[in-house]
Amino acid sequence: MGLAVVDVIVGDALADRAKHLGDRLRDGLRALQGRHQAIGDIRGRGLLLGVEIVTDRETRAPGHELIVQLTDRCFELGLNVNRVGGPHSVWRLAPPLTITEEEIDEAVAIMD
C-alpha cells in the first residue's frame, strides 16, 4: 500500500523545506522593497506570500493600475503571478514545494 500524505510530508520534511525556501523568497522580496517604493507590504508564511503593490507607501494607497502593468511585464519575462486582494492590488506568490533556490532567485530578479 502507498504512503499516506502525512508520511510524505513528514518523511520529506516538507514543512522545513517550505520554511527554508519561504525565508529565501521573503529575503529577496524585502531587498526589492528596499529598492522599490511600490512594494508596501510583504506578508504570509512559508512559500505562501503576498506582496502589496501601492502608489504611496505612507498611505498604502493600492496600486491598481501599476500592478496590472507589473504583472503583465513579469509574464512577458516568464513569471506568472496572481493578482488578488481588494481590487487585485496584491500579488499572491505560491510556488510549488519543488521550486529550487535558483528558481526563487530568478523570480525575484524578474520582479525587480
Can you give the CATH number for the domain in which 69 is found? 3.90.1150.10
Using an 8 Å Cβ cutoff, are 92 and 81 in contact?
Answer: yes
The answer as to whether 105 is a domain residue is yes
The answer as to whether 33 is a domain residue is yes
The rounded distance, in Å, linking the Cα atoms of 43 and 50 is 5
The answer as to whether 50 is a domain residue is yes
The answer as to whether 24 is a domain residue is yes
96: left (phi over 0), alpha (psi -120 to 50) or beta: beta
The answer as to whether 5 is a domain residue is no
* pLDDT at residue 9 is higher than 80: no
The answer as to whether 4 is a domain residue is no
List, for residues 30-42, the tens digit of each pLDDT value.
Answer: 999 999 999 999 9
The answer as to whether 100 is a domain residue is yes
List, for residues 81-90, the tens digit of each pLDDT value.
Answer: 999 977 779 9
Full domain range(s) for residue 72: 13-111
